[in-house]
Structure 1
Amino acid sequence: MVATIIFTLLFIIILSALIVFIFNILIPALKQRQVNFSEPLFSPSEVELLKTRPEKLAVSGKRAVVKCSPHRTSGARRFLYNGPKNCALFSEVCDCEDDCRWGCCGFGNCAKACPQEAISIQNATAVINELCIGCGKCIDACPRNLIVLVDAECKKSVLCSAPNPLPPNCSVSCDRLAKEEIIEIKSKKLFQLWKKCYTILR
């Protein structure tokens, strides 16, 4: 009984203190707060940084897909290339290191051309993630024409650029030849939760 009375008194005291703080300190402080618009919101260095940022591109409703799978399995290397890491130069001079001359070089010319930083290299193959806005700049950077634009909602595609059937006297050990793969990019859970909340509040 005594403990209940003590807890009740403590609760009343804390609640009273909170009410006093809100009405006597917080609300008056917010009302008296003034913003000096004569002072710049950004420092000169911040303004310069904003000027140097790449221009934001509009989302096109498309996204890029590399017609070469990062899960590919290729044959034994014919040689080890130690030259400049440039896809165009490699394609002109060496053609390919393994038995597939239609695959990705993996030196990242497309990644360097992407303004969204949406391309990474995995298993010597360019992989495009959910940051892609379909601007198409990576297409021009690929000397082998492996990158195409598809609908943003596209879920499956053949991630292989080798002709099917293969030309005479040609063989490829890659197990991804003419096989469809899931290319759907699922939104992260946090984004899905935000999207649902936005829809409800709207």
Structure 2
Amino acid sequence: MNLKHIKAVAFDLDGTLVDSIPDLANAANAMRAHLGLPPLDPERIKSHVGDGIASLVHRAITDERHAEADGPAWERGYRFFVQHYREHLADQTTVYAGVRDGLGLLRALKLPLLVITNKSERLALPLLEQLDLRDPFSLVLGGDTLSEKKPSALPLQHACQVLGISPKELAMVGDSTNDVAAARAAGSAAIAVNYGYADAFTLGADLTLASIAELYDLMKNN
């Protein structure tokens, strides 16, 4: 795939830049204990990630992807989860191999880099800072930054407006159906990583990468 026309690259956060499952699972199980529920296997919690903290709390309480928890239980759980997770954002969360090198290579091409995540901005920003990953990104959009989040095209469209580029000049790199769907809706290039939380080859992306460092060779002009 020829990406030499791309003028900016957006990245999902969880499952693309960082593996946050250990800390999300710990927060989810601490919340379940607070609500008098037994712990879930981290792999179950991993399957519930991707649509933001509010959805994760519903799923972590019910252990079902499409069910909603009782209102008062969700409110208690949500408050506890956010407080616990904020205090332990980067205890066990790690940056994926190749991410720092890949971001450095892309910055050498003078390409604006941004994060578009469904994680709330008030959690995404401190997580990036604690992992020393904030500096490469000129813009960070969380799931609560705008009125809509992925799979809506709005975050990508907003980013393009801020950068003064067209959506077809933006590449969206992620690991989920939300990332690919948002890119499709916006008319941007959809790129999947094969090490994230979903089976990348089922996502229908334009391109699948083993490392974001591979983007450099696809985007450099010589």
Whether TM exceeds 0.5 here: the answer is: no
TM tier, smaller: under 0.3
* Greater radius of gyration (CA): 1
Q: TM-score, normalised by structure 2?
A: 0.23
Question: Normalized against structure 1, the TM-score is what?
Answer: 0.24
- Larger proportion of helix: 2
